Amino acid sequence: MVSPNTPAATDASASSATTIPDVVIRLAGNSQDGIQAVGGFLARLAGRSDQEVMTYMTIPSTISGGPSIFQVRMGSGEILSSGDRADVLVAFYQHSYENHRSSLRPGGVLLYDSDHVVPNPDDKEVTAVGVPMTSATVEAVGGSSKEKGKNIYVLGLIARMFDLDVPKLTQLIRERFTGKNEDIVRNALLAFDAGYAYPAENLRSCLYRLEKSTAPGGRPQVTGDGNTVLTYGLLAAGVRYGAGYPITPWSSIMETLRTELPKYGGLFVQCEDEIAAASTALGFAYAGHLSITGSSGPGLSLKMEALGWATMAEMPLIVINVQRGGPSTGLPTNIEQSDLLQAIYGSHGDCPRVVLAPKNVEDCFHIALEAGRIAREFSTPVIILTDQAIATRIEAFDEPDLAKLMVEVKPDTSTRDAAFKPYPLGGMTRHAPPGSVMASGKYPTVTGLEHDEHGHPTASPALHTKMTEKRREKIKAVANSLPAPELVGDESGEVLLIGWGCTYGPIREAMGRLRHAGVKAAHMQMRHLHPLAPGLEATFARYKHVLVVEINDEGLYGHGQLATLLRALTCNPAITSITKTDGLTYKVSEIVERVARKIDLPDSTIGMRKQSILAVTPR
């Protein structure tokens, strides 16, 4: 076997490799094959090489596992989506080949396990390379491990195909298995070496080299998935206490908080159910801490009674909903953006609250900081609507300047003067945690009942009217503190594309393709979903079509959930929807095609332009 660190292993590929700006690799197998680990290694390598990266994965919702994919797009320049079509498809099984051959672009490379896959011999659109992945792994590793290292063997193959940084990959493998038996590390490296040493002449027609990043050197990059980045954003925002209950795809946030919060003197409690989790988190908030609870859609439904109490008591609380397909248990491992109206209107009564949504993995960190600021400044619950796609995909971005961003939140138990009222009608709510001394000798109450300025229960019609107004106007004050959403593209024109959450990258790329085809277009991604920032009406009025792209149903009246809110706000009939409910993220081509149909008019020039739009086919 030739070690990948020796010149003999790299000479053959170095001379014939074709330099490319980026590549889309789709790994298709079963969830037990460790393809997510391979994709993770590639993504983290890109991050450590100052390259852009974005991943996409699907996993089965059954405990027994089943067909799964992991797609990674990596390279130089800005990468906004994980790619519509793959340049390389790695097929582990016959079903992997049959189900995903259509995802491979013409001229792409089909890399398949010849021990399990028999491709169509008449398919001449792609370059097919058969490698005995299973038997070669068994031969390399041997012993009882058998084919368990097949994924790492494939990683070695990919490293050879794309002339990847072997020392960095080797270090990543060692880090991945830190704490494991040394035999496991040795076997993984044996499998990697065997894959890398696969005869170069068998890969001669598909050897590539990724362009080096031209980005100016700055802060080091970090690589992570949305749930992990959001968790560390919460820590930076000053969250030290929380409670939750496990549910896909929220659970990894809970597990990370359980291990990290004690390092900061905090605590995370796994409760017996969702109601208890929300109530426990509110107990921490009552004690003067910025606290956290979270779940997915089904769990948020269960938390709603406690969240109504949080609104009435005006408690600073962060609530995370990692959305998945619904209703009921729905699609536990697939994407949907169908919890927006639940987040805003889920509780009974007039229950105004704040709802935010990160646009990508990096923004998960900053949206957590934003949620913490709003919760503390306005003494209110804040719901963060992320989604399964952002939660599980991996991106690389510049490391945040933690020294400037970290917030320390401690209970203020200082003595309150005689005029202190926690719920003043003419001012902002400010609680006094237990242990605070009241100079007046009159101690406030915190309750879910309507109350007066001291928190004491009241059934006064006049006070209920005034307190309802106070809670409403506070959320309006949040709106007035918000910046206008970023508008990219033409300042006015034919099409304004609006999105929220994981639609950010595909919409931005689709906008670029529309403008390239001669359409005056722009893109606005909404991060503040409730309340909405002021001034949107004037912006929307500058475009002939305002198309809201979201992953939910068009509903009874033909509009998605965000589109419904925007139409209610502006009464602008130009606002229409592009929606879907297939459990998958948008492809750039899907958006471009849907826009082309929306703007198609009887005029022949428009029809010609539509053809030119569709001709710009994304990868």
Mean pLDDT across 282-301: 97
What pLDDT is attached to residue 230?
Answer: 98
- The verdict on residue 2 lying in a domain is no
Residue 483 half-sphere exposure toward CB, CA atoms < 13 A = 7
- The verdict on residue 217 lying in a domain is no
CATH code assigned at 139: 3.40.920.10
What pLDDT is attached to residue 603?
Answer: 42
CATH code assigned at 542: 3.40.50.920
**Does residue 608 have a pLDDT over 70?**
no
> pLDDT grade, residue 184 (50/70/90)?
confident
Do 194 and 76 sit in the same domain of this protein?
A: yes
Domain final residue pick, 481, 515, 541 = 481
Do 507 and 552 sit in the same domain of this protein?
A: yes
What pLDDT is attached to residue 618?
Answer: 54
Convert the pLDDT of each residue in 240-265 to its tens digit.
999 999 999 999 999 999 999 999 99
**Does residue 1 have a pLDDT over 80?**
no
**Does residue 530 have a pLDDT over 60?**
yes
Give the DSSP H/E element, type plus range, for residue 385.
strand 381-387
**Percent of the chain surpassing pLDDT 90:** 82
Mean pLDDT across 373-379: 97
What pLDDT is attached to residue 614?
Answer: 58
From residue 386, how far is each of 295, 336, 482, 570, 594 by CA, in Å?
A: 11, 10, 19, 25, 24
Do 93 and 242 sit in the same domain of this protein?
A: no
Do 24 and 42 sit in the same domain of this protein?
A: yes
Convert the pLDDT of each residue in 450-477 to its tens digit.
999 999 999 999 999 999 999 999 999 9
Q: Which amino acid would we find at residue 581?
A: T
Mean pLDDT across 97-101: 97
* Total domains, the chain: 4
List Cβ neighbours of 48 (8 Å cut-off, separation of 6 or more).
Answer: 165, 168, 172, 221, 223
**How far apart (Å, rounded) are the C-alpha atoms in residues 45 and 407?**
31
**Does residue 480 have a pLDDT over 60?**
yes
Domain final residue pick, 432, 450, 481 = 481
Residue 274 half-sphere exposure toward CB, CA atoms < 13 A = 21
What pLDDT is attached to residue 9?
Answer: 43
Closest CA to 71 of 81, 60, 57: 57
What pLDDT is attached to residue 10?
Answer: 45
What pLDDT is attached to residue 142?
Answer: 78
Between strands 354-356 and 381-387, the pairing is: parallel
Do 464 and 417 sit in the same domain of this protein?
A: yes
CB 162 within 8 A of CB 212: no
- Which two three-digit tokens encode residue 82? 């994980």
What pLDDT is attached to residue 182?
Answer: 81
Convert the pLDDT of each residue in 13-67 to its tens digit.
455 678 999 999 999 999 888 999 999 999 999 988 889 999 999 887 776 678 9
Do 449 and 498 sit in the same domain of this protein?
A: no
What pLDDT is attached to residue 619?
Answer: 62
CATH code assigned at 286: 3.40.50.970
Do 249 and 192 sit in the same domain of this protein?
A: no
- The verdict on residue 216 lying in a domain is no
Domain span holding position 565: 487-615
**How far apart (Å, rounded) are the C-alpha atoms in residues 315 and 247?**
25
- Pick the residue with more confidence: 299 or 616? 299
> pLDDT grade, residue 215 (50/70/90)?
low
Mean pLDDT across 342-370: 97
What pLDDT is attached to residue 217?
Answer: 58
> pLDDT grade, residue 607 (50/70/90)?
low
Convert the pLDDT of each residue in 130-141 to its tens digit.
999 999 999 998
Do 393 and 252 sit in the same domain of this protein?
A: yes
Average pLDDT, the chain: 91
This model's pTM is above 0.95: no
Do 436 and 492 sit in the same domain of this protein?
A: no
**Does residue 287 have a pLDDT over 80?**
yes
> pLDDT grade, residue 440 (50/70/90)?
very high
**Does residue 615 have a pLDDT over 60?**
no
**Does residue 583 have a pLDDT over 50?**
yes
- The verdict on residue 215 lying in a domain is no
**Does residue 611 have a pLDDT over 80?**
no
* One-letter-per-residue 3-state SS of 74-125: EECCCCCCCCCCEEEEEECCHHHHHHHHHHEEEEEEEEEECCCCCCCCCCCC
**Does residue 144 have a pLDDT over 50?**
yes
